[in-house]
Structure 1
Amino acid sequence: MTPPRAAAAPSARAAAFLADSHLGTLTTLRPDGSPHVTAVRFTWNPAAGLARVLTVASSRKVRNVVHRGAGRVALCQVSGPRWITLEGTATVSDDPARVGDGVRAYRGRYRSLPPVRPGRVVMEIAVDRILTLNL
């Protein structure tokens, strides 16, 4: 097993792993500083260095990011002994064009449309650190 490594861009193996339609966990910080971890489906745009999570404005994860302005988050995908964590600054948007970009990316990755829920927003994570193990 190789030790975890930080990288500016994922290796070819890591990029292939990110292309698989796994679930991930998203970690945000509550107003009291404690971590909030939730399972999410997400997409990754390597050219833009952008991860996206579709959710609703009333969710705890969105409220945590909004509370901090643009907050640091970690998005982790795990499968067996392999994992990748995308870290960066998250912002939240209800702009229809940006939400639409998120929906198209989601459909491309998961081969289905995301649930349509009132108050849908997209959390966009500008990834500036990538950590991997066994990739």
Structure 2
Amino acid sequence: MPTPPLPETRLDPRYSAPDAGAADWARAVALLTEAELFWLSTVRPDGRPHVTPLLAVWQDGGLHFCTGPEERKALNLRENPEVALVTGVNALRTGFDLVVEGTAVPLTDGVRLRALARAYTEKYGDEWTFAVRDGAFVGDGGRAPVFRVEPRTAFGFAKAPYAQTRWRFTDV
């Protein structure tokens, strides 16, 4: 997999303290890699939002998640693959929050899926061990298609001092 492009980085002074600086994308990647829980936002066919927590793995410049083929998020993605994934700290004055916007693309390549299956087990433990069959994860809950989201735009929200960084990926 080629090296992902570095994003254009911009601090938004409207939402940042006077002494704040833009966050580095490498820091954001480290936080995306370490985060255990993400919130996925999708859009229902009738236009209403749907938000749900899930596990995700950062690998090769993108976030990856799986879901049952008949779960609400999977049904939504069939109609509209545009998503936002959010992770961070549920506190006002500490931590760093991240929002990743992009298109959820089904991933079916067996080699990449096996690498992701290993990454899930390494990150989340043995209860998150998947086999790979017919272009999807297979586990205790049955078949689970896997989706990849390469950031198109990402936002970082620092809290000490308050700062909002936007990363824009021009090649995505």
- Name the TM-score class by shorter chain: 0.7 to 0.9
Picking from 71, 75, 82, the partner of 1:72 is 82
The equivalent of 1:127 in structure 2 is: 151
- How many residues are paired up? 127
The equivalent of 1:87 in structure 2 is: 101
| Alignment root-mean-square deviation, CA | 2.6
Identity of aligned residues (%): 30
Picking from 100, 105, 111, the partner of 2:114 is 100
Deviation at 1:75, TM superposition (A): 0.4
Deviation at 1:108, TM superposition (A): 3.0
* Pairing 1:55–2:67 present: yes
Deviation at 1:120, TM superposition (A): 1.5
Does the aligned pair in 1 maintain the 2:35–2:87 contact within 8 Å? no
Alpha-carbon spacing, 1:63–1:133, altered in 2? closer, same or farther (3 Å): same
Task: Answer with 1 or 2: which has the greater Rg.
Answer: 2
Does the aligned pair in 2 maintain the 1:58–1:119 contact within 8 Å? no
Deviation at 1:130, TM superposition (A): 1.0
* Pairing 1:114–2:124 present: no
Deviation at 1:96, TM superposition (A): 4.0
Q: Distance in 1 between matches of 2:24 and 2:70?
A: 32
Deviation at 1:24, TM superposition (A): 0.8
TM-score normalised per structure 2:
0.63
The equivalent of 1:15 in structure 2 is: 29
Q: Distance in 2 between matches of 1:10 and 1:89?
A: 23
Deviation at 1:97, TM superposition (A): 3.8
Q: Distance in 1 between matches of 2:24 and 2:122?
A: 20
The equivalent of 1:31 in structure 2 is: 45
Q: Secondary structure at the match of 1:65?
A: helix
Structure 1: which 5+ residue stretches go unaligned? none
Moved over 3 A (4+): 93-99
Deviation at 1:85, TM superposition (A): 0.9
Code of the residue aligned with 2:86 in structure 1: it is: C
Structure 2: which 5+ residue stretches go unaligned? 1-12, 17-21, 130-138, 160-172
Alpha-carbon spacing, 1:119–1:18, altered in 2? closer, same or farther (3 Å): same
